[in-house]
Structure 1
Amino acid sequence: MDIAQYLAVIDLLCTREFPEEHGRTDVGESGPGYFTAELQTSDEFWEDDGTEREETEAQYEFDRDGLGERLSARWGPPQMFSLAGILDRVLQGEAIPEPWSTLSGHVPDLHLWQPPGVGRYVALGISQWDKELPFQLLALVTDIDPP
């Protein structure tokens, strides 16, 4: 996919009805009040000395920032939102609503917008569950307030 396709996915998710149950959609995970779109996924890094991983991470940050510039042109600058504190709260046993609870385990921070007239939050983040596993460029669309 390219930036135009990413924007089309985000636009679609801003208007699509949220599902009543957790599950997979044509673009990623979803549940009551949210969609998480997997816009881009890298290869795994099982036999990497770290160089390929670092280059891939830099490319994913570049792609997120490029898409973020297009969203900022529409909605203004994003709020930078760290999920580290949410992860700490989850690990201490606090009940954090989805999608925030799961995202905090593999996305360190988000670029977060609250587009006027949409009634939903839109966020971009880079996921990596573990150093050997792929990176993913994620778009989140939700009507659930960040905790």
Structure 2
Amino acid sequence: MDIAQALAVIDRLCSGPLPAEHARTDAGTAGPGYVIAELQTSEDFREDGARWEEVYEQYECDREALAQRLTERWGPPQVFSLYSVLERSLEGEDLPEPWASLSGHVTDVTLWRPEDMGRWISLGVSQWDRELPFQLLAVVTDLAPP
């Protein structure tokens, strides 16, 4: 992963306006009050499931390396589990985006809320299914986690 490039994407998302409508952007997906940037995407595991653990560990290491750089800027993060969000969503509770949809494919996020910015910034490792690719995601939103 190119940390400098990932930081540049996060900086651009933090300084720009958040969208008012759902859209696909050059960074990833967006909706009212949030952007989800796809910083890195692995290969899929349909042909080689043996590499799954290795790639998972690499994505977690990449998230940690990027988190260290963001911690230097904004201080210590929170680690926020999305399990309860998923559970509440499955029980029919209407939860805000991007948190509701993230909970279906991201276990937990590393989360900051810089006071001077008024936004939540999080990093998470996504995988929709064991055969599908991993993604390192950065989320910028003005919506607090539920």
Q: TM-score, normalised by structure 2?
A: 0.98
Unaligned runs of 5+ in 2: none
- CA drift of 1:19 comes to 1.3
Partner of 1:33: 33
Segments of structure 1 that go 5 or more residues without pairing to the other structure are none
Match of 1:11 in 2: 11
**SS of aligned partner of 1:108:** strand
Could you tell me how far 1:47 is from its partner in structure 2? Answer: 1.9
Q: How does 1:46-57 map to 2 (within 5 A)?
A: 46-48=46-48, 50-57=49-56
Task: Tell me how far 1:116 sits from its aligned partner.
Answer: 2.3
Give the Cα separation in 2 of the matches to 1:138 and 1:115: 18
Distance 1:22 1:89 in 2: 23
> Sequence identity of aligned pairs in percent?
62
In 1: Cα distance, 2:67 partner to 2:117 partner: 17
Alignment match, 1:62: 61
CA RMSD, 1 decimal: 0.8
Where has structure 1 moved over 2 Å in runs of 4 or more? none
Tell me the CA shift for residue 20 of structure 1. 1.5
For residues 23 and 31 of structure 1, the distance between their equivalents in structure 2, rounded to whole angstroms, comes to: 6
Structure 2 residue 87 is matched with structure 1 residue 88: yes
Q: Scaled by the length of structure 1, what TM-score is found?
A: 0.97
Question: Size of the alignment, in residue pairs?
Answer: 146
